[in-house]
Structure 1
């Protein structure tokens, strides 16, 4: 399954009691599809997958896949520490109707490249769905080399790559080295035009929750070869991306970014509550007000 275009990692709205807010989640899905996205990625980093219980993961999958009803592909993150745990998530995702799976290398354990190969090969053999590798060394502490990704792509083990490594040289090596159909997706919100220009197929932008139309427009301009317009839209989104920094050094970078996405969605009337999962520190009123100003400057309020 070759994917391209804009594939946002869908945020997980929560109630004040820290349950999944399914009504808000459905509105968010409609907001994204109406915004022109090409697929959805649930249970990724921007979905707060690391904070969700297995039951909450299942609720997210059932809600999104059931509501989408095949309008667009739904990728399911099956992110966990080791292969047996990932396989269990893959089974649940398949039952829920996911179109494909997104998996990182194993983590917490200290792995060897041969073990990472076995990890992805086993998932592909047993899950029965296309597998997309998620290169996220900041969280996994293992960098997926271009050579390893291309080897697994040539074997048919991987259907694509979500590259959130920040390694533009590695991304280019994958783009240049692929031979069979293989989706190369950048996870960077702020260098999408550059990635598309070098041959990437699409983007998985957390900020796409807030402004899906902006990323759809950026992709449209790039697809038509209008690189000046693509750059202009990218620069507008770069300025909007400043929302992720309003938490400053008062909280973790994840808390600041995820809190900003949810605060922006709340201000835009998409979700009912901007709360993030424990133990993340919430944004304060002044920080939310700054996000509101950045949204207004981007033409979103």
Structure 2
């Protein structure tokens, strides 16, 4: 994976299929990689939030990553999440990812203990230096409790520590300010970090993020409809904004599947990941829709909700 050119396009965070006993279903995972590559994606992000990385044991992480790298077979770059609470733990995951053949790493700021921006900077610099692979920051303040500031990201971009950023902060204004700080939509080749990639994690505002100057998207829903996100990306890049808006609006409707699980009975993460997994099962990619414990599993009514969204989006035949 080249560090001189920014990563661009659609890079889904690959869901991790589990069998009925909760172990990684490698056959389904290999089918998912084929589903994504056939959909035209530009890269794969293994062991991210949609991969349930926080729920997997180290052994399961290794199985999942090795399966994704093997199934990708060099056709697209594989980014490996090395997410953990502290730098020493992240370094262990980074070494495992390097040995597994990952092309780049994705890490959050440290969490559990409260950290200072200088400690966050030291964390990323240490991981980049020790791991020897391109490193992408994952801005996920809802889980990590630390928002990566524009000043810090720019500093780490300028000194070559970070190859890019996945922004899942939900702060659209902050994302736009970062893009401007890095040189703006049209001036980034002359900006402080021409090889730095800005990737949005928001499935619902991809058209506007790309128009603002983002390089790509990391959509959890892209597991279900990778071709839809590729069409959206290509429409924006090709200047067909009408087609882009139409595709984005279709994907917004499809995203409604994440509300499948009753809010009074289960968490929103359990509902969303369960929806993605059952959608992939209904599409014939996964064998099971099992989510990792102790998340509550979707019931029949919730699965029917997912199926309706697939049919409405044209991904399953209308009955």
TM (norm. structure 2) is 0.94
Pair 1:19-2:34 in alignment: no
Partner of 2:66: 62
Q: Which of 77, 82, 93 is the matching residue for 2:81? A: 77
Distance in 1 of aligned mates of 2:112 and 2:272: 23
Partner of 2:208: 194
Misfit runs of 4+, over 6 Å: none
- CA shift for structure 1 position 228: 1.1
Q: Which segments of 5 or more consecutive residues in structure 1 lack a partner in the other structure?
A: none
Query: Between Structure 1 and Structure 2, how many residues are aligned?
Result: 301
The 3-state SS of whatever aligns with 2:80 is: strand
Q: Which of 273, 276, 294 is the matching residue for 2:309? A: 294
Q: Which segments of 5 or more consecutive residues in structure 2 lack a partner in the other structure?
A: 183-191
Partner of 1:38: 42
Partner of 1:259: 274
Q: Which of 155, 174, 177 is the matching residue for 2:178? A: 174
- CA shift for structure 1 position 248: 3.1
Q: Deviations over 1:244-284 (max 9, x none)?
A: 01213121110010000001000111100000000000111
The 3-state SS of whatever aligns with 1:185 is: strand
Partner of 1:3: 7
Q: Which of 230, 255, 272 is the matching residue for 1:241? A: 255
* Segment drifting more, 204-213 vs 243-252: 243-252
- CA shift for structure 1 position 299: 0.1
Q: Which of 270, 277, 283 is the matching residue for 2:292? A: 277
Partner of 1:114: 118
Distance in 1 of aligned mates of 2:27 and 2:308: 27
Q: Deviations over 1:14-45 (max 9, x none)?
A: 01011100000000000000000000000000
Q: Deviations over 1:78-131 (max 9, x none)?
A: 000000000000000000000000000000111111100100010111100000
- CA shift for structure 1 position 202: 0.2
Partner of 2:189: none
Q: Deviations over 1:117-149 (max 9, x none)?
A: 100010111100000000000110110011110
The 3-state SS of whatever aligns with 2:251 is: helix
The 3-state SS of whatever aligns with 1:132 is: strand
Pair 1:210-2:224 in alignment: yes
* Segment drifting more, 60-69 vs 198-207: 60-69
The 5 Å alignment of 1:88-237 reads 88-178=92-182, 179-180=192-193, 181-237=195-251
The 3-state SS of whatever aligns with 1:184 is: strand
The 3-state SS of whatever aligns with 1:248 is: coil
Distance in 2 of aligned mates of 1:140 and 1:101: 17
